[in-house]
Chain A
Amino acid sequence: RKEVEQDPGPFNVPEGATVAFNCTYSNSASQSFFWYRQDCRKEPKLLMSVYSSGNEDGRFTAQLNRASQYISLLIRDSKLSDSATYLCVVNMIQGGATNKLIFGTGTLLAVQP
């Protein structure tokens, strides 16, 4: 099983739609979770951290399900400008206090006019 897995998509949705992405992780000891957005040929940029109780930032909602080991990202009222690749990132605990941050393969979202 891959350490971090995402549905690669693409997700093609009309403007105004609600779309949700999931990301599963293998290490039950993982503590930190993030969603990043990456535009074509650019560096990833932080979209939001994912907190245990779930968190919202405008049209974006992130949730964590520790029992099933997945995080989710919900985008409401999709805009054309939301078209991008969405990457989940999970910290993988590796002995002692060290940990490495592992990316999923990314989910491509295309919002259509």
Chain B
Amino acid sequence: NAGVTQTPKFRILKIGQSMTLQCAQDMNHNYMYWYRQDPGMGLKLIYYSVGAGITDKGEVPNGYNVSRSTTEDFPLRLELAAPSQTSVYFCASSYQGGWDNSPLHFGNGTRLTVT
């Protein structure tokens, strides 16, 4: 099992550009999450999904969009990049989404800089 795979690892964007952060998991997990982590801070939930076709907002969804067309994939879209979106982005998946003490499995992260 590869676990959770995120691409790209690094990216520099200009203000106003768009990009999609890719996330895939091969553990057949229903729950998937996108977090962002600013320097010296904890992780903030952007969006999450409880299964294919179902997504919901987290703590900081503005400026982002997601889709979940398959169980395996959960891409995160930035439409108009802003410097405030400079951050490290982590994708994670979970079997039960926190129920029954099922933990999160993380990807390695994407370091995004918007200038």
In contact, B56 and A106 (Cβ under 8 angstroms): no
Q: How many chain B residues touch the partner (CB < 8 A)?
A: 27
A87 within 8 A of B: yes
Size of interface on A: residues with Cβ below 8 Å to B: 28
- Interface presence of A111 (CB below 8 A): no
Once the chains bind, are A89 and B45 in contact (CB under 8 Å)?
no
Q: Does any Cβ of B come within 8 Å of A59's Cβ?
A: no
The verdict on B83 contacting chain A, using a C-beta distance below 8 Å, is no
B-contact bits for A19-62, CB 8 A (1 contact / 0 none): 00000000000011010100001111110010100000000000
Q: Is the Cβ of B42 less than 8 Å from the Cβ of A103?
A: yes
Interface stretch, picked from B12-20, B21-29, B70-78, B96-104, is: B96-104
A68-B97 Cα distance, complex, nearest whole Å: 24
Check B42 against A105 for contact (C-beta < 8 Å). yes
- 1/0 contact string of B76-115 vs chain A (CB within 8 Å): 0000000000001010001001111111101111000000
Q: Is the CB of B43 within 8 A of A44?
A: yes
Q: Which residue of B is nearest A32, CB measured?
A: B98
Q: Is the CB of A99 within 8 A of B101?
A: no
Contact between chains at A43 and B98 (CB < 8 Å): no
Q: Are A100 and B45 in contact (CB under 8 A)?
A: yes
Across the interface, do A101 and B42 meet the contact criterion of CB distance under 8 Å? no
A106 touches B42 (CB 8 A): yes
Q: Are B98 and A98 within 8 A (Cβ)? A: no
A31–B41 alpha-carbon span in the complex (Å): 25
Q: How far is the CA of A48 from the CA of B88 in the complex (A)?
A: 24
Q: Which of A31, A36, A98, A102 contacts B50 (CB 8 A)?
A: A98
Interface of B toward A, CB cutoff 8 Å:
33, 35, 41-45, 48, 50, 56, 58-59, 88, 90, 94, 97-104, 106-109
4 tightest A-B CB contacts, nearest first: A91-B98, A105-B42, A43-B106, A103-B43
CB<8 Å pairs between A and B, sample of 6: A31-B99, A43-B107, A43-B108, A46-B103, A103-B35, A103-B44
